[in-house]
Amino acid sequence: MHLCRYLMAMILAFAPSMVVVSGKLIDREGKPMQKAAVVYTSTATGRTFKTQTGKKGEFSFAGVPPGQYEITVTDANGQQVYSGKKYLYLVNENQIADPTATNSLMIDLSTVGQGELTKVELQRVRRENANVSEINRLILDLHTALDGHEWPRATQALTRLIALAPGRWEFYQNLGTVQTNLAADAASYPALPLFNLCATYYNLSRMTEAVVACNRVIASDPKMEDAYYIKAAALLGSGRLQQGKLVAPPETREAINKYLELAPQGHHAADARSLLEKLDSEVETSYKPKTGVVKKK
Give 130-176 pLDDT, tens digit per residue: 888 888 888 998 899 888 888 778 888 888 888 888 888 898 888 88
Mean pLDDT along residues 69-73: 95
pLDDT at 7: 44
Asked if residue 295 lies in contact with residue 196, where contact means CB atoms within 8 angstroms, the answer is yes
The CATH topology of domain 191-278 is 1.25.40
- Report the SS3 class of residue 94: coil
Q: Which of 35-39, 58-62, 290-294 has the lowest mean pLDDT?
A: 290-294
Dihedral over Cα of 123, 127, 132, 134: its sign? positive
Whole-number average pLDDT of the chain = 80
Distances (CA, A) of 40 to 46, 100, 292: 10, 21, 46
Asked whether residue 263 carries a pLDDT value surpassing 50, the answer given is yes
Asked whether residue 99 carries a pLDDT value surpassing 70, the answer given is no
Mean pLDDT along residues 196-209: 84
Q: Which of 156-160, 168-172, 179-183, 215-219 has the lowest mean pLDDT?
A: 179-183
Asked whether residue 60 carries a pLDDT value surpassing 50, the answer given is yes
pLDDT at 271: 84
Position 186 confidence tier, pLDDT thresholds 50, 70, 90: low
How far is the C-alpha of 227 from the C-alpha of 42, rounded, in Å?
63
Position 101 confidence tier, pLDDT thresholds 50, 70, 90: low
CATH architecture group of domain 16-111: Sandwich (2.60)
pLDDT at 192: 76
CATH 2.60.40.10 residue spans of the chain:
16-111
Mean pLDDT along residues 222-247: 80
Of residues 177 and 191, more confidence is placed in 177
Asked whether residue 86 carries a pLDDT value surpassing 50, the answer given is yes
How far is the C-alpha of 237 from the C-alpha of 297, rounded, in Å?
25
- Are β-strands 19-26 and 104-108 bridged in parallel, bridged antiparallel, or unpaired? parallel
Maximum average pLDDT range among 96-100, 244-248, 258-262: 258-262
Mean pLDDT along residues 209-224: 89
Q: Which amino acid is at 137?
A: R
Of residues 244 and 232, more confidence is placed in 232
Distances (CA, A) of 171 to 71, 111, 131, 133: 40, 30, 16, 17
Mean pLDDT along residues 29-51: 93
Asked whether residue 285 carries a pLDDT value surpassing 60, the answer given is no
pLDDT at 35: 92
How far is the C-alpha of 76 from the C-alpha of 57, rounded, in Å?
11
pLDDT at 297: 52
The CATH topology of domain 119-188 is 1.25.40
Nearest to 51 by CA among 105, 15, 101: 105
CATH 1.25.40.10 residue spans of the chain:
191-278
Asked whether residue 26 carries a pLDDT value surpassing 50, the answer given is yes
Position 182 confidence tier, pLDDT thresholds 50, 70, 90: confident
pLDDT at 42: 94
Q: Which pTM was predicted?
A: 0.48
Of residues 278 and 73, more confidence is placed in 73
Q: Quick one: how far is CA 169 from the chain centroid?
A: 28
Of residues 58 and 155, more confidence is placed in 58
pLDDT at 284: 46
How far is the C-alpha of 276 from the C-alpha of 142, rounded, in Å?
38
H-helix or E-strand containing 273?
helix 269-278
Nearest to 233 by CA among 192, 188, 191, 198: 198
